[in-house]
Structure 1
């Protein structure tokens, strides 16, 4: 290791003078080529015994394949799935390789201990936590346990809390117009989700604080940019590269601001605990932060650790949920014949339970009653997720020790495993006529037989529905996310009509590695529904 470092230092001085004379793009390309060449020479890695997908020829350098993966992951994965869909194959990302497994391995992977194959390790690893101020999240599962052990058992109590919080933000975040109004619907959904999750995670102090709403919305974007920028280079370059990533400085500022807020909240909680011990009756908000403070270890309850954990929780709950909601609206605009179908379902429920407005309790109804009856909307969300994934490699696992799978597939320690979920969802062996957008696909399955009524739901995992992962390491917050999505869309469709602006169709998918997002310029038009 020392010898390798000395050799790199000898190269740096002439290299830096050359970089000064090149433009930004050429400099970045040069650094990538040199760093990856040195990485191959000095840090060879153990490889899985599966073919690498995507090479154009035997002469193509690996760094070019990795560069193409950034914007063309869907094509590389799609082509490999068509030719090797029943066999494992490897796709190459700048920072690591993925072993993409056929879906026949789902059950085998599910049964392997999380200590050997970690979903959290894969997810957190994507954030480059040690270099983004999130190192404590790697060593603690406290925030996930808070969702599993505190939120999920009383799910609809917290959904009610969150939904009722929209009474303080709906008019501020949602356009209120009788004429068609051009709207960035994904930004609207982000801010609605930020308010709801802030109420559940931290209470009124956060959910009604504009600075926290801005932090929680911006953090996911900046963290993604920072992580992606860092991961374009080999891990041994991180100590140098991180100082050149502008988004990383924004992430640091957001974490610092969050620490200030968390410090005040923790002081208030500690004061309340002391007063309770003295026999006082204290009226406190029931939040995930409270639960984590009461159940966390001393090192987990420090201000920096708790601030990082709350930012990661906000990122996980806001980004993918808002993107999914925006995709639902885009699909409604692309298939407007389904808008009256869903509005009819919602109007019928509203006749029994009251309007899905600011406060469900004022109408004598609960979020649970609404969610259980929104069957067609649930099915629409599932079909939208199938056509519009937020990731095209999911679920993911990180191997923490060498593993031999059936069929002789060898997985070295440190390897990332994944499944080609989108290709699987669009495979005719999984779903008949997969290219057809069929919003009642899951609805019909539920009503085909009495024993299917509680199956094929958007918050359930299944070998044919991998949007939230699979098995006991699937997304812990999926039940909360789906319930909130259904309630937000119910209110949206109860109050508004939607359409695309003239000349715009379904926004195109864009790719950054395995991550999927819609064209950032996409907009919809919305206006109040005309009622007789």
Structure 2
């Protein structure tokens, strides 16, 4: 039972904020909801517009999956090339793309003897891990089918999905404090991206290559000044 009499099944993110009484005004809740949405929708359209050679392979996969499974959860799982495209895009831009922050709530001694005092702010540079040439071949080059190829081994396919967190890939964090909304944050852009693939063509208005990203604090965001154009797809 929640503090306001709600059952656990009725509780949600906004209700948690209200219960904590730290962010409970309409404006505060609205801003927090917008921030959460921004954090869960990752930019892949710029990469699609800049790499038109991948449109047909991705579109063929989506069309084939939707014909058999329509727009279901199972369909989302089977879109492995789309998943790979987003998994490659995800570490490049977004909130906290460059690192994962933690705060030590008590004194902590690591296995190698490193002592971390209570209150210390820690920062794990995910940007470096995701661009490590010892882990990924040509990590500085956008390769949208990288994770699809890595996952072609049936025993390893799950390890290379967009939401599969491991020590080499953790855009949603890692361990017991990893983002609890990671699966939703993956399904949401995957559904939108797949719908755009089946319905539209995308290109930049005045350029072929994508604009440089903007680095702000610990964030890397796509240049909002760029103008991708959409054209309704002609179905046969």
Instruction: Give the TM-score category using the shorter length.
Output: 0.7 to 0.9
2:122 alignment partner, one of 398, 411, 417? 417
Q: Decide whether the 8 Å contact of 2:173 with 2:179 is kept in 1.
A: yes
Q: d(CA) in 2 for partners of 1:290 and 1:527? A: 41
Higher helix share: 1
Matched position secondary structure for 2:90: helix
Flag structure 1 segments of 5+ consecutive residues without an equivalent: 1-141, 143-265, 274-287, 354-364
Q: d(CA) in 1 for partners of 2:139 and 2:95? A: 18
1:321 alignment partner, one of 23, 31, 40? 40
For residues 390-430 of structure 1, the C-alpha deviation after alignment (integer angstroms, 9 at most, x for no partner) is: 32442211012333334443323222111111111111112
For residues 317-342 of structure 1, the C-alpha deviation after alignment (integer angstroms, 9 at most, x for no partner) is: 311233x1xx2111111111011111
The equivalent residue for 1:488 is: 192
1:400 alignment partner, one of 97, 105, 108? 105
How far is the alpha carbon of 1:482 from its aligned partner? 0.6
Q: d(CA) in 1 for partners of 2:123 and 2:26? A: 30
How far is the alpha carbon of 1:503 from its aligned partner? 3.2
The equivalent residue for 2:174 is: 470
The equivalent residue for 1:291 is: 11
Flag structure 2 segments of 5+ consecutive residues without an equivalent: none
Q: d(CA) in 2 for partners of 1:292 and 1:439? A: 35
Q: d(CA) in 2 for partners of 1:373 and 1:334? A: 25
Q: d(CA) in 2 for partners of 1:303 and 1:413? A: 23
- Over 3 Å counting, the alpha-carbon distance change for 1:410 and 1:441 in structure 2 is same
The equivalent residue for 1:454 is: 158
For residues 475-502 of structure 1, the C-alpha deviation after alignment (integer angstroms, 9 at most, x for no partner) is: 0001011111111111111100001112
For residues 292-343 of structure 1, the C-alpha deviation after alignment (integer angstroms, 9 at most, x for no partner) is: 49x97xx828796485884465134311233x1xx21111111110111111
- Over 3 Å counting, the alpha-carbon distance change for 1:376 and 1:290 in structure 2 is same
Matched position secondary structure for 1:454: helix
For residues 54-79 of structure 1, the C-alpha deviation after alignment (integer angstroms, 9 at most, x for no partner) is: xxxxxxxxxxxxxxxxxxxxxxxxxx
Q: Are 2:216 and 1:512 aligned?
A: yes
Q: Decide whether the 8 Å contact of 1:379 with 1:439 is kept in 2.
A: yes
- Bigger Rg, which one: 1
Q: d(CA) in 2 for partners of 1:316 and 1:303? A: 16
- Over 3 Å counting, the alpha-carbon distance change for 1:412 and 1:400 in structure 2 is same
The equivalent residue for 1:440 is: 145
Aligned residues: 232
For residues 349-399 of structure 1, the C-alpha deviation after alignment (integer angstroms, 9 at most, x for no partner) is: 23223xxxxxxxxxxx45212212111100110011233353244221101
Q: d(CA) in 1 for partners of 2:30 and 2:195? A: 27
Describe how 1:90-101 pairs up with structure 2 within 5 A.
none
The equivalent residue for 1:104 is: none
How far is the alpha carbon of 1:434 from its aligned partner? 1.0
- Considering only aligned residues, what root-mean-square deviation do their CA atoms show, in Å? 3.1
- Over 3 Å counting, the alpha-carbon distance change for 1:420 and 1:302 in structure 2 is closer
Q: Decide whether the 8 Å contact of 1:395 with 1:466 is kept in 2.
A: no
- Over 3 Å counting, the alpha-carbon distance change for 1:301 and 1:429 in structure 2 is closer
The equivalent residue for 1:344 is: 60
